[in-house]
Amino acid sequence: MKQKYNPMMFQCSESLDMSKHIVATYYMRGKGTNPMELDLAKFAESIAAEQATGTWIDVPFETDDIVERHAAKVIGIYETPAYDRELPDGIQYRDMIVRLAFPWENIGTNFPMIFTTAIGNISAARLKLLDLEFPKEYTDHFQGPKFGIQGVRDILDIPERPLTCAMIKPDTGWTPEQGGIMAYDAYLGGIDVIKDDELLVADPAWCPIEKRVQAITDAGKRAFEQTGEKKLYTVNLTEDSFKIKDLAYRAIDAGANALMINTYTAGFSALRQLAEDPNIQIPVMSHPDYAAAQSYSPDTGVAVALLWGKLARLAGADMAITTNYYGKIPVLRDSYLRTCRDLKMKFHNIKDCLPAPSGGMYQGVVPDTIYEVGTDVMIAAGGAVHGHRNGATAGARALRQAIDGAMAGIPLKEYAKDKPDLQIALDDWGCGEKEDLFDMKK
């Protein structure tokens, strides 16, 4: 007699060689005409089959040997709350955490198949991929960040303090000459890294990549002569994948000292090819535009910390723009901080990645950001630099003053009393108490 559940699809993790498996953890919500009759184990088995060897019906060549070697195994089903004796009356749905172990020989060592396997067809179901656990035997095939946090600090000769970053504003439409002026003003006030906005085309007719790189790196050199502080410029290379490496080489030939890619539109493989290219010996920044579309639903997609954090780091980002709890884009504090931790905590052979909280970052929330994220952070502000009443140099100076005050342990309002640029920023934007500061949060 055929069994309802295939015993080969259920395993204790202790019985598997975990060096040969990637473990995916999912949140799932079961809902039906009668939630009390939902078969959680069968649902877990079905998604394990769907993402490995099986389909909705038995097929002749899905032999026991193939299932044993290649099928995903259900290694954990945990209902939350953990009902064991009975279900409460009137229950409308049932939540569970499911853990599947995928043989990574099915996947290979590439990002397209990681996503296809872990969250492919099943992305149409009501489930969310929370985490992927990679064995060291797998991550050994990835270089990860070429420089990491310490490498970026060494390039800029900044041993301890938080770094600063400013996006050129407006986002697009400016010429290389205008970009050079805006970059110089921000650099002069104390910005360490200028980045292109993600909306700037890599090589537009009005702002060709070579001329743009030359103008902004020249601005950095002139600012260095004035301040003694080294500068970086992350030039946006986002384009069709087959054009990206050529754009990188052109930018480097023009003098680029850092690169940027919109990882979630260009693809993780685009980031990886930049990071792992031995001919590219400069840091790479990852930008997360579009990622929220894949991660912000509470019960579908991929968790923010995994998508924006661990996977961007595995692909090779030295610096990664992240959400900012205090900024213009809604995000839970816990989610934002998990992402920052995933970028920095120990992860096999993979170097750490510098988190750059952005999206409405401003001077008044710098102390809280450093307190929560730590000093290994890049404070990334655009509007709060270029939109300062006294100009970009004053805005950048105020940002650095906010960092200095936080590092000294002096309350910002007290620290600003003899610093007019910082005082203006606090007067205009406050210290996190102005709930109507951002239209996107209304």
Helix, strand, coil percentages, rounded to 5, for the chain: 45, 15, 40
Whether residue 109 contacts residue 141, with contact meaning beta carbons closer than 8 Å, is answered with yes
42 is catalytic: no
Whether residue 355 contacts residue 165, with contact meaning beta carbons closer than 8 Å, is answered with no
Alpha-carbon gap, residue 171 to 214, rounded angstroms = 19
DSSP string for 292-352: HHHH-SSSSEE-HIIIIIIHHHHHT-SEEEE--TTSSS---HHHHHHHHHHHHS-BTTBPP
Beta bridge partners of 21: 103
Alpha-carbon gap, residue 145 to 283, rounded angstroms = 8
| Omega of the bond leading into 170 within 30 degrees of 0 (cis) | yes
Alpha-carbon gap, residue 185 to 391, rounded angstroms = 8
Q: Of 128, 203, 153, nearest to 375 (Cα)?
A: 153
Residue 327 gets the label, from left (phi > 0), alpha (psi -120 to 50) or beta, of beta
Handedness of CA 359, 363, 364, 366 (dihedral sign): positive
310 is catalytic: no
Catalytic residue among 169, 211, 230, 351: 169
Burial of 325 (0-12, 13-18, 19+ CB in 10 A): buried
Cβ contacts of 38-42, under 8 Å, gap ≥ 24: 38/94, 40/77, 40/79, 40/94, 40/96, 41/5, 41/10, 41/74, 41/77, 42/4, 42/5
- Can you read off the two tokens belonging to residue 367? 């102390």
Which letter does DSSP use for residue 270 in this model? H
CB neighbour list of residue 43: distance below 8 Å, 6 or more residues apart: 28, 30
In what helix (H) or strand (E) does residue 22 lie, and over which residues does it extend?
strand 21-30
- Can you read off the two tokens belonging to residue 227? 């301040």
Catalytic residue among 128, 146, 195, 287: 287
Q: Looking at the annotation, which residues are catalytic?
A: 169, 287
